[in-house]
Amino acid sequence: MMVRGLRLALTLLCACCLACGDSTDWASKGPTDEKYSQVELSLGEAVYSDSCSACHGQNGSGNFGPDLLGKGHKYSYEEQRSLVARGRRSMPGFGASLADAEIDAVVAYIRVGFFGESRN
C-alpha cells in the first residue's frame, strides 16, 4: 500500500512538472508593441552588454541563463523590471548596482531592442 501511494505521489509530481514546462516559442512573437526612445534603447543595450550578456548571450538567445528573446510577451513590463531589480533563482538582482533609469532601459532593450525594431 505504501509503494502504491509513493508511485501515485511521484506520478503526480512528474505530471505537475511537465504541465509547468513552457514550450512556447516566445522569440517567434517578436518585439512587444511598446515604443521607446533611441536614447533609452542605446542605454539599455550598453547596460545589457555590461550586466546581462555573459549569462543571457550577446543577442539574448541564452547562454548560462535562459533565452530572453520575445519574453516581453510572457512577462509584463513590471514583472520583467522586478526580475532585473530583485533577481530570481540563480539570477542576482541588480537593484543595488543599477540606477532606476538603467533598469528601465535594459528592460526596454530586452522587450524590443533584440529585434532592432520599435526605435523612435
For 50-81, write each residue's pLDDT tens digit.
999 999 999 898 888 999 998 888 999 999 99
**Residue 114 within any structural domain of the chain:** yes
**Residue 29 within any structural domain of the chain:** no
Following DSSP, what letter does each residue of 75-109 receive, concatenated? S-HHHHHHHHHH-BTTBPP-TTTS-HHHHHHHHHH
Query: How many structural domains does the chain have?
Result: 1
Do 85 and 95 meet the contact criterion of CB atoms below 8 Å apart?
yes
**Residue 14 within any structural domain of the chain:** no
**DSSP label at residue 42:** H
Query: What domain range includes position 91?
Result: 34-120
Query: What is the H or E stretch that residue 65 is in?
Result: none
Gap between the Cα atoms of 3 and 9, Å rounded = 10
**Residue 87 within any structural domain of the chain:** yes
Its pTM stands at 0.76
The reported pLDDT for the residue numbered 107 is 96
**Residue 61 within any structural domain of the chain:** yes
**Residue 6 within any structural domain of the chain:** no
Domain CATH code at residue 117: 1.10.760.10
Provide mean pLDDT across the span 78-96.
95
Provide mean pLDDT across the span 36-46.
96
**Residue 13 within any structural domain of the chain:** no
Dig out the grid coordinates for 29 from the structure.
Answer: 512573437
Provide mean pLDDT across the span 73-95.
94
**Residue 59 within any structural domain of the chain:** yes
Provide mean pLDDT across the span 41-45.
96
